[in-house]
Amino acid sequence: MIDVGIIGGAGYTAGELIRILLFHTKVEINFVYSTSNAGNKVSSVHQDLVGSTDLIFTSNINTDVDVLFLCLGHGNSKAFLENNQFSAHTKIIDLSNDFRLEKDKIFENKTFVYGLPELEKANIIKANYIANPGCFATAIQLALLPLAKYNLITDDVHVNAVTGATGAGTSLSKTTHFTWRDNNFSYYKPFAHQHLGEINQSVKQLQNGFNADINFMPNRGNFSRGIFATAYTNFEGSLEEAKTMYTSFYKDAAFTFVSDEELHLKQVVNTNKCLLHVHKHNNKLLITSIIDNLLKGASGQAVQNMNLMFGFAETEGLKLKANFF
């Protein structure tokens, strides 16, 4: 058994993380840190956990845990680690974007490995510090990496992706209130979303000469969770060649699967899966990629990384069923 600490315990990603870890056979949750909720029951915030745990939020930190999950807002993980020192054996998995890019991966005496198992599994297994990928970044990278591996992204890529309301976090804003979100649809940060940096970085890692544009249009959907992403680019091969390439690339992936059927979001919500589908139209290849933004796009992938780091079965604690109906 390993001891786990969670920092920033009141958000959506922390709630999902706690839910998974409570039923993980190799883990004990040592503490859940939240200064704003210290002394309150965890189930008073994460109400799906009523009857599942008696954990209490704390403002005290055990610096000797085996693994620490940072569920903090972007920019806050660095500040937290600057002010709090942990034991030499404590592994850290950060869910913010603070350490994802090559220029940010070395912090003090720590080197963070980018935590996309389908790309970095061998390095994750040996790592002590993980930068968990972003949610949009996960869905889009998994759509593009097989093409990049074979140097087949020779033209601009166009991506349209829709995320649920939980992607905006728990803090209320103009665009997260029910009356605004319900029966509504909008784009935001067109062509300039913060996840483009890590997407381009991973594509160039496999396709060294990549110099085209990834034109990304992020959208807000009027549903709670999930990401539905479509990407298309020029492709001279046949549909069967594309299917073979994608199936081969993900043949050893624990959670990424290529489907022959067109996809819909309920297939992956509440799971750690990414489902992919390829479609050919004239000289264009369309790749559909779907994930749960809070699981494969955040907490589920973080636990997947923890499993790899500690030598557990990669799927431990993550055999979750989609809520199709």
As annotated, the active-site residues are: 135
Instruction: Number of helices (H) and strands (E) in the chain: give both, helices first.
Output: 9, 16
Mapping DSSP to helix (H, G, I), strand (E, B) and coil, where does residue 114 land? strand
CA angle 258, 153, 207 (to 5 degrees): 95
Could you tell me if 41 and 15 are in contact, meaning their C-beta atoms sit under 8 angstroms apart?
A: no
Nearest 5°: CA angle at 35, between 3 and 225?
Answer: 75
**Residue 52: CB partners within 8 Å, gap ≥ 6?**
19, 22, 43
Report the alpha-carbon distance of residue 88 to residue 66 in Å, rounded.
10
Report the distance separating Cα 233 and Cα 37, nearest Å.
Answer: 47
Angle between helices 135-149 and 117-126 (to 10 degrees): 100
Residue 8 structure tokens: 């920033």
304 and 250 Cβ atoms separated by less than 8 Å: no
Helix (H/G/I), strand (E/B), else coil: 116: coil
Query: Which residue has tokens 């809070």?
Result: 294
CA dihedral of 280, 202, 258, 312, whole degrees rounded to 10? 180
Going across the sheet that includes 157-163, the strands are: 186-187, 214-220, 157-163, 227-234, 284-291, 274-281, 256-258
3-state secondary structure of 159: strand
Measured CA to CA, the distance from residue 290 to residue 248 in angstroms comes to: 19
